Amino acid sequence: MVDEITPEAVEEKLGEDGVQVIDIRSPAQFEQGHIPGAINIPMSELPARVDDVEWGDDVVVACPIGQSSVQAARLIDSFEGVEADDEVRSMAGGYRDWEYELETGEN
């Protein structure tokens, strides 16, 4: 089971070192506005790219409404490159519930 984290808690974590936000929306959606520091890996590319990412200790997956991010977080969490004590969570409510600053353009 994948844990969820609120947008408020994600926003608080952005000031801390180590939180890694993975945005699974399309590149076009990502460019229109994303959580500061987020990495764009579209859901359709995630299975092929999961090996290529250096996963952090605290990973948060974000999507439009907080549903597909649960599946993506499960996939990431099951990857052998993710340590057992690493946290991989889905952002509850997704971008629909994000009320904070967004970066624009490619990251």
Taking the alpha carbons at both ends of the chain, their separation in whole angstroms is: 30
- 3-state SS, residue 90: strand
Is 62 a catalytic site residue? no
Catalytic residue among 50, 63, 73, 92: 63
CA nearest neighbour of 37 among 9, 16, 8: 16
- 3-state SS, residue 72: helix
Active site residues: 63
